[in-house]
Amino acid sequence: MPKMALATPQSVTINSVAISLPRTGQSLNSGQFKSNDGLVTETVSHQIGKRKRHMFRIDHNKVAADPFLTSVNAKYSMSAYVVVDVPTVGYTVAEQKQVVDGFIAQMQASSGAIITQVLGDEN
- Give CA–CA dist 64/23, Å, rounded: 27
Give the pLDDT confidence of 20-79 residue by residue, as tens digits.
Answer: 999 999 999 999 999 999 999 999 999 999 999 999 999 999 999 998 998 999 999 999
Domains of the chain: 1-88 (3.30.380.10), 91-123 (no CATH)
H/E stretch holding 75 reads: strand 73-87
8-state DSSP, 39? S
The pLDDT, as a whole number, for residue 1 is 45
Residue 3 has pLDDT above 90, yes or no: no
pTM of the model: 0.88
